[in-house]
Amino acid sequence: MEIENLPVHVGIIMDGNGRWAKRRGLPRIEGHRVGAQTTERIVIAASNIGIRYLSLFAFSTENWKRPKEEVNFLFHLMYEYVRSKLNLFLENNVRFRAMGRLWELPTYLREGFAWMEEQTAHCTGMTAVFAVNYGGRQELLDAFNRAVAAGERELTEDTLRKYLYLPELPDLDLLIRTSGELRISNFLLWQSAYTELWFTQTLWPDFTEEEFKKALLDYSRRERRFGGLK
């Protein structure tokens, strides 16, 4: 099924890994492990469909509050992901980008992200953005501080955008959240000014390519007015 009026930029809050594991009597880390497999499938599905930018909320600035063992597991899981999926990204012409307060992450993970970005920099298909140690308010604070440090005297939207983590990232068209939670959780606040929202009860490990297409189809039927009249 071909979907007309595709969103250019799709964001996903990949929620529900822990609950998925709990319902099965498994450790939370198993939910994250299976969730990583879902991430792989959705990245490729989005690329094949023709999405230009896919932003995935992988680790928030608030997630440091989780048990240290879980945080360390998540970081190693991300590292394993980027080190093992290069060929998959290259075969599908997908560019990898990471954004957030990356300088606060472990050295091995920062280097892994930098390596993956370098290896896929020439890819011209979809850009897959992994938001790690990311918070929307923190991004804006960091942007303001960089603008002040650069000597900016009067800020406009265009000026401030230059100081965001990824200035080239377009505004978000569609934001998907799994697990039944009805909030955006501090994700891409600047970019979400006019985004369309789509929520599902499905936990992230159970999220399928078919449900992803369902979200895109629903988006394609909406009329976006950006504050104007019909």
Q: Is 206 annotated as a binding residue?
A: no
Q: Residue 64 annotated as binding?
A: yes
The response to whether 62 counts as a known ligand-binding position is yes
Q: Per the annotation, does 117 bind a ligand?
A: no
- Residue 33, SS3 per DSSP: helix
Rounded to whole angstroms, the Cα distance separating 67 from 32 reads 14
Compute the CA torsion angle 17, 77, 126, 219 (nearest 10 deg). 10
Give Cβ neighbours of residue 228 (< 8 Å, ≥ 6 apart): none
Residues with a known catalytic role? 15, 63
Q: Is 222 annotated as a binding residue?
A: no
11 among annotated binding-site residues = no
Under a CB-based contact definition with an 8 Å cutoff, are residues 202 and 179 in contact? yes
**19 labeled part of a ligand binding site:** yes
Was 16 annotated as part of a binding site?
A: yes
CB-facing half-sphere around the CA of 135: CA atoms within 13 A: 9
61 marked ligand binding residue: yes
Per-state percent for the chain, helix, strand, coil, to nearest 5:
45, 15, 40
Q: For residues 204 and 31, what is the distance between their CA atoms, to the nearest angstrom?
A: 9
Question: Is 55 labelled a binding residue?
Answer: no
Say which residue the tokens 């930029």 belong to: 9
- What is the C-alpha separation between 186 and 117, in angstroms, rounded? 25
- Is 76 annotated as ligand-binding? no
Residues annotated within the binding site for substrate are 16-20, 28, 32, 60-62, 64, 66, 177, 183-185
Residues annotated within the binding site are 15-20, 28, 32, 60-62, 64, 66, 177, 183-185, 196
Residues annotated within the binding site for Mg(2+) are 15, 196
